[in-house]
Chains A and B, each alone.
Chain A
Amino acid sequence: MDALKPYQLKKSAAEKFVLMGGPIIILGVLIIIGLGTQNALFILGISVIAIGAILILVGSFRYTNVVKGFKKDYLPTVIKDWIDQGEYRPDFGLDQSIVYACEFLPGADRFFSEDYVRGYIEGVPFQMSDVKLQRKHTTQTKNGTQTYYVDYFVGQYYVLDFNKNFEGAVQVLESHRPESNRPFKKVKLESVAFNKTFKTYATGEHTAFYLLTPQMMERMMELEKTHSGQLGFSFIDNKMFIAIHNNHSILEVRMFRKLDDSLIESFKNDFRLLDDLVKELKLNKKIYKEI
Chain B
Amino acid sequence: MDNPIVIIALVLVGLILIVGLWYIATMNTLRQLEVKVGEADSGIDVALTKRFDALSKLVNTTKGYAKHEASIFENVTKWRKGLPDSLSMEQKQEFLGKMNEVQSGINVAVENYPDLKADKVFINLQNSINEVEAHLQAARRLYNSNVSTLNQKIVTFPISFVAGNINMAKKAFFEADVAKRQDVDVAF
Contact = CB atoms under 8 A, between A and B. Distances in A.
Interface of A: 164-165, 188-190, 205-206, 209-210, 213-214, 284-291
Most chain B Cβ neighbours within 10 Å, of A188, A209, A289: A209
Contact of B182 (A165, A213, A284, A289): A289
Most chain B Cβ neighbours within 10 Å, of A165, A285, A287, A290: A285
B144 interface: yes
Is the contact region of chain B dominated by helix, strand, or loop, or is it mixed? helix
Nearest to A205: B142
Given A205-B142, A291-B176, A213 B137 contact: yes
Interface stretch (B57-65, B84-92, B128-136): B128-136
B187 interface: yes
Contacts of A165: 131
A213 B136 CA distance: 12
A288 B181 contact: yes
Contacts of B40: 205
27 contacts: A164-B134, A165-B131, A188-B145, A190-B141, A205-B142, A206-B135, A209-B138, A209-B139, A209-B141, A209-B145, A210-B138, A213-B134, A213-B137, A213-B138, A284-B130, A285-B127, A286-B185, A287-B134, A288-B134, A288-B181, A289-B181, A289-B182, A289-B184, A289-B185, A291-B137, A291-B178, A291-B181
B97 to A, nearest CB: 15
Contact of A190 (B43, B133, B148, B184): B148
A291 B43 CA distance: 19
B142 A209 contact: yes
A193 to B, nearest CB: 14
Nearest to B141: A209
Nearest 6 pairs of A and B residues by beta carbon: A210-B138, A209-B138, A209-B142, A285-B130, A190-B145, A285-B187
A189 B138 CA distance: 11
B134 A206 contact: no
B138 A190 contact: no
Contacts of B142: 205-206, 209
Nearest to B186: A285
A81 B17 CA distance: 72
Given A206-B138, A206-B142, A209-B139, 7 more contacts: A165-B131, A190-B145, A209-B145, A214-B141, A289-B185, A291-B176, A291-B181
Contacts of B135: 206, 210
Interface string B92-123: 00000000000000000000000000000000
B51 to A, nearest CB: 12
Interface string B51-92: 000000000000000000000000000000000000000000
Contacts of B182: 289-290
A189 B134 contact: no
B162 to A, nearest CB: 22
A30 B21 CA distance: 80
A219 to B, nearest CB: 16
A30 to B, nearest CB: 71
Interface in B125-183: 127, 130-131, 133-135, 137-139, 141-142, 144-145, 148-149, 176, 178, 181-182
